[in-house]
Amino acid sequence: MAVLIGALAVASAPAAHARPARPQKAARLPAYGTLWITATFLGSISRYAPPTANISQTAVATISGSNTTLDDPNGLAIDHQGRLWVANSSANSIVVFAANANGNATPVITIAGSKTGLNQPIAVALTQRGDVWVANDGVNTIVEFSAGAQGNVAPIRTIAGSNTALSDLSGIAVSPEGTRVWVSEYRSRSQTPSLNEYAGSAHGDAKPLVQISGPDTKLNDPNGITVGVDGNDPTTVNYVAGSSGLLRFAPGARGDAKPTVVSGFNTGIELPVLQALDAVGDIWVPSAENSEVARFGPTAHGNAVPERLFLDRTSNPGSIAVFMAPPSAPRAVHAKATTKKLHLTWSTPKVKGGGILGYQVRDRKKSGHWKVVKTTTKPSYTKSHPHKGFSYDVIAFNEAGYSTASSSIRP
What's the CATH code of the domain at 348?
2.60.40.10
What is the DSSP pairing of strand 194-199 with strand 235-238?
Answer: unpaired
Regarding whether 340 and 207 lie in a shared domain, the answer is no
Looking at the domain assignment, is residue 409 inside a domain? no
Percent of the chain at pLDDT exceeding 90: 65
More confident residue, 68 or 224: 68
Residues 150 and 206 in one domain: yes
Across 138-147, 310-319, 329-338, least confident range: 310-319
Q: Are 120 and 137 in contact (CB under 8 A)?
A: yes
407 assigned to some structural domain:
no
Mean pLDDT of the chain: 87
If asked whether residues 335 and 313 sit together in one domain, one would say: no
In tens, the pLDDT along 30-40 reads 889 999 999 87
Within this chain, do residues 254 and 337 fall inside the same structural domain, yes or no?
Answer: no
- Checking if the pLDDT of 9 tops 70, the result is no
pLDDT tier at 387, thresholds 50, 70, 90: confident
Beta bridge partners of 210: 197
What digits encode the pLDDT tens for the residues 87-111?
A: 999 999 999 999 999 999 999 999 9
168 and 252 housed in the same domain: yes
pLDDT surpasses 60 at 27: no
- Write the single-letter amino acid at 31: A
* Final residue before a domain boundary, out of 292, 322, 352: 322
DSSP classification of residue 343: E
Domain that holds residue 177: 26-322
Give the pLDDT confidence score for residue 188 in this predicted structure: 64
- Whose CA is closest to 111, among 138, 82, 91? 91
My answer on whether 129 and 194 are in the same domain is yes
The CA distances from residue 259 to 137, 166, 221, 270, 409, in Å, are 25, 22, 15, 19, 42
| Residue 291 resides in a domain | yes
CATH number at residue 167: 2.120.10.30
Strand ranges across the sheet with 61-63: 61-63, 44-48, 35-39, 317-322
If asked whether residues 34 and 67 sit together in one domain, one would say: yes
Burial of 159 (0-12, 13-18, 19+ CB in 10 A): buried
Domain for residue 398, yes or no? yes
How many folded domains does the chain comprise? Answer: 2
Lowest mean pLDDT among 10-14, 100-104, 275-279, 294-298: 10-14
pLDDT digits (tens, 9 = 90+) for 317-361: 888 999 999 999 999 999 988 878 899 999 999 999 989 999 999
16 has pLDDT over 60: no
Statement to judge: residues 92 and 230 lie in one domain = yes
User: Span 369-389, mean pLDDT?
Assistant: 89
Same domain, 260 and 345: no
Q: Are residues 317 and 335 in the same domain?
A: no
Question: For residue 51, is it within any domain?
Answer: yes
pLDDT tens for 176-212 read 999 999 999 987 655 788 999 999 999 999 999 999 9
Specify the range with the lowest mean pLDDT, choosing from 28-37, 117-126, 235-244: 235-244
Minimal CA–CA distance to 275: which of 265, 256, 262? 262
Q: Are 362 and 372 in contact (CB under 8 A)?
A: yes
CB-based burial of residue 382 (10 Å sphere; 0-12 exposed, 13-18 middle, 19+ buried)?
exposed
Instruction: Tell which of 322, 339, 374 closes a domain.
Output: 322
Domain shared by 234 and 134, yes or no:
yes
Asked whether the predicted pLDDT for residue 122 surpasses 60, the reply is yes
- Among candidate residues 288, 322, 356, the one where a domain is terminated: 322
Q: Say if residue 125's pLDDT is above 90.
A: yes
The continuous run of DSSP H or E covering 199 comes out as strand 194-199
Is the same domain home to 268 and 361? no
The reported pLDDT for the residue numbered 41 is: 74
318 falls within a domain: yes
Q: Indicate whether 212 belongs to any domain.
A: yes
Q: What is the mean pLDDT of residues 205-224?
A: 92
Residue 147 lies in a domain: yes
* Threshold 0.75, pTM exceeds: yes
Whether the Cβ atoms of residue 194 and residue 145 lie closer than 8 Å to each other: no
CA distance linking residue 220 with residue 243, whole number of Å: 10
